[in-house]
Amino acid sequence: MAAYRLEHVGIVVPPAKREATVHFYESVFGWKIVREMPNVAFVSDGHGGRIEFLFYDNDALNPPNHLAFSVPLAEFDGLMEKIKATGVTSEPPVDTPAGDRLFWFQDPAGSRAQIVGRSNPMPE
């Protein structure tokens, strides 16, 4: 049987946080809106990764649920500082025994996310 590709991940964003959340993913990660409707917007990394924002007053993505963004190790510190500069809630970075670097934060809608710099990237 063929393996099917993940098309998107959907997360809840309160309508009042719509503009701030979309701007965060565009300005920090360089993602772009590829489809937008009244209660839904899809953003894309341009390489097949997509997040569907569902604009409803439900709970955000809380621990241990999270989004994870792959970052080259050489760019990890710069992106971490860019995220911190937005003022979102974050935790100190973690260096794993495997040589990976992790940085956890909450996006403007309160969803838990992280950037991951892998010393040995995950297979596709």
Which of these, 81, 73, 80, lies nearest to 121 by C-alpha position? 73
pLDDT band at 85, cuts 50/70/90?
very high
| Average pLDDT rounded to a whole number, residues 28-53 | 97
User: Exposure pattern of 95-121 as b/e (b: 16+ CB <10 Å)?
Assistant: eeeeebbbbbbbbbbbbbbbbbbbeee
- For residues 36 and 14, give the distance between their C-alpha atoms in angstroms, rounded to a whole number: 15
98-119 confidence digits (pLDDT tens): 999 999 999 999 999 999 999 9
pLDDT band at 72, cuts 50/70/90?
very high
Q: Which two tokens stand for residue 81?
A: 């500082």
Q: Which domains does the chain have, with CATH numbers?
A: 9-117 (3.10.180.10)
